[in-house]
Amino acid sequence: MGMAAGRGDCPDWDFSDSHGHLVRRSGIAPKKLPPTYDTALGTAPLFGWAIADMAKNWRIHISTVHPPLSGVSIRHAHDARWQTKNMSSTSTDDVLAPEQAEAFRLQVREFLEQNASGIGRRSETSLMIGKKYQAALTEAGLAGLVYPKEYGGAGLTRIHDRIYREEYGKYPDMTFELTISHGMCLPVLNQFGTEEHKREFMPDLIAARTMWCQMFSEPGAGSDVASLQTRAELDGDEWVLNGQKVWTTLAHVSDYGVLIARTNPDAPKHAGISMFIVDMKAPGMEIRPIHQIDGGSHFNEVFFTDVRIPKSWLLGELNNGWNQATAMLMYERVAIGTGSSSGVTHNLADRLIDVAKNNGKLSDPLIRQDLMKLYCEETVKSLVSMRTRAEMKAGKVPGPGGSLGKLHGAIIARFSRPLINRLVGADCDAWEGEGRGENWARYILSSFQSNIAGGTDEIQRNIIGDRVLGLPREPMMDKNMPFKDLKVGTQRQ
């Protein structure tokens, strides 16, 4: 990330907005920053609008201090009234009194002190940890904070959700394995499901009593998902499913799945798709785990042979599945962009700062520079995520901000890998044994998927170019052609 030049060998950053929020970071700022910098930071134009919002909503003051501080402190002004109406033009005016915000923060802290411990691997062991933690959240009334009580949620505001995320971010992530269930399937059910769907499925989903997966990609329909060939045909009061999906995360441990299938082959490929709820244990389902190089089996092939589901399990409108799938993909990118699919990503800069302090490398100016860059990158991603989540809370389908956050998460993963290697050293190669070595090794190895999972970087750039920058769309040779006349997917000669 580029920075403007100025004076000050070791500035102290104060981020203060009009509502009194204050964030202070000391001792890792890059050299030669100007005393006052209220314009957009010199990052890539791709994220200019996010940085412009940061400059607008968070006036940045930089004051030179001597000698440099060796630690990092972050302080939030909890005594100010919380408002978020400026974070998104579509958001609602959630307001929380200071005493309410502080009381909820203390409640969350107490809960986390009692329940947030240990780091699970990306395996069924970590899934068990995630389910146990989610059960405790449910018991404490803290699960599904922004979802209605009648559907198993807590019925609270996005400010409560933000406070929880801030506090939870101080602990190792224990709910990574629930990302698809809660970050993708849950909002889609809430948005497109019928009243019966919501009352039947959402309470168990929120409490993690059931696991859900997403079934989109096929052997011949990856980036071009609309070329899918899995069929759904109505037979009386049931839909009959036939076809194959691939790279389905956690299908082998899921109870239900959200599926898109072709319901009208006479329509253009984007127009003849519908979305369904599927029982993963139904007769005719075959799930084959794919063994990965790291020893895990997160991904699966899923085969449908005359699988029957109730007619009422159509999710949303018939033949409107592509629009709904697009919404789900945006939810996926929000889920990935606001956290990461790599494991150790909550406040990654803070964690690496602690590592640098403990091993005596924080005094290295190149290390400090890269840590500050990482902090700035995470700040941008967080602001994009705040905008997108505000849109979601206001009832809007996530827009291209989801792609911005997802792409920025991939950029962070690429940037952080060599930095982690320099800071952690040989522990990056540790696979088993005591300490945090195994955690960093798995982070680095799994971070390579960030450029592909949830949509490739190239797809994200296409979305951003089309929907953010307003560039001309790529030509579509098959536009308005019936799907049955196309040579797509595995039909290609």
Structure tokens at 134: 């989610």
Please tell me the distance from the alpha carbon of residue 273 to that of residue 263, in angstroms, as a whole number. 6
Q: Please report whether residue 57 resides in a domain.
A: yes
Q: Please report whether residue 131 resides in a domain.
A: no
CA quadruple 267, 270, 271, 272: dihedral sign: positive
Please tell me the distance from the alpha carbon of residue 259 to that of residue 215, in angstroms, as a whole number. 5
State the DSSP H helix or E strand holding residue 256, giving kind and residue range, or none if neither: strand 256-262
Looking at residue 491, its pLDDT comes to 52
CB neighbourhood size of 18 (10 A): 12
Residue matched to tokens 């329940």: 115
Structural domain total, the chain: 2
Q: Which active-site residues does the annotation give? A: 332
Under DSSP, the state recorded for 347 is T
Here the CATH number for the domain that contains residue 216 is 2.40.110.10
Same-domain check for residues 352 and 445? yes
Q: Please report whether residue 486 resides in a domain.
A: no
Q: Please report whether residue 247 resides in a domain.
A: yes
CB neighbourhood size of 21 (10 A): 17
Please tell me the distance from the alpha carbon of residue 230 to that of residue 224, in angstroms, as a whole number. 14
Q: Please report whether residue 67 resides in a domain.
A: yes
Q: pTM value?
A: 0.71
Same-domain check for residues 313 and 348? no
Q: Provide the domain limits for residue 441.
A: 11-77+339-455
Same-domain check for residues 16 and 65? yes
Domain boundary among 325, 348, 373: 325
Going residue by residue through the chain (493 aa), what tens digit of pLDDT does each one get? 333 333 233 333 333 333 333 333 334 444 433 332 222 233 333 444 333 333 333 333 222 222 232 333 333 333 333 333 333 332 334 678 999 999 999 999 999 999 986 544 444 468 888 999 999 999 999 999 999 999 999 999 988 988 998 888 788 788 888 999 998 999 999 999 999 999 999 999 999 999 999 999 999 887 788 889 999 999 999 999 999 999 999 999 999 999 999 999 999 988 999 999 999 999 999 999 998 877 778 899 999 999 999 999 999 999 999 999 988 887 777 676 655 333 334 468 888 999 899 889 999 999 999 999 998 888 888 777 777 767 766 666 667 777 887 888 888 989 999 999 999 887 777 665 554 444 788 788 878 888 887 778 888 898 888 888 888 887 776 777 777 667 765 454 4
Q: How far is CA 48 from the centre of its chain?
A: 21
Spell out the residues 6+ positions from residue 55 whose beta carbon is closer than 8 angstroms to its own. 38, 39, 40, 41
Domain boundary among 302, 325, 348: 325
Q: Please report whether residue 412 resides in a domain.
A: yes
Looking at residue 300, its pLDDT comes to 96
Q: How far is CA 162 from the centre of its chain?
A: 14
CB 122 within 8 A of CB 177: yes
Q: Please report whether residue 5 resides in a domain.
A: no
Residue matched to tokens 């802290």: 109
Please tell me the distance from the alpha carbon of residue 243 to that of residue 488, in angstroms, as a whole number. 15
Looking at residue 253, its pLDDT comes to 96
Looking at residue 231, its pLDDT comes to 97
CB neighbourhood size of 113 (10 A): 11
Same-domain check for residues 316 and 346? no
Same-domain check for residues 349 and 443? yes
Same-domain check for residues 384 and 419? yes
Same-domain check for residues 301 and 356? no
Same-domain check for residues 313 and 343? no
Helix 158-168 to helix 98-115 angle (10° resolution) is 40
Same-domain check for residues 315 and 345? no
Bridge partner list, 231: 242, 262
Same-domain check for residues 308 and 374? no
Domain boundary among 325, 352, 377: 325
Same-domain check for residues 259 and 350? no
Pairing between β-strand 299-310 and β-strand 82-83 as defined by DSSP bridges: unpaired
CB neighbourhood size of 236 (10 A): 8
Q: Please report whether residue 166 resides in a domain.
A: no
Same-domain check for residues 267 and 298? yes
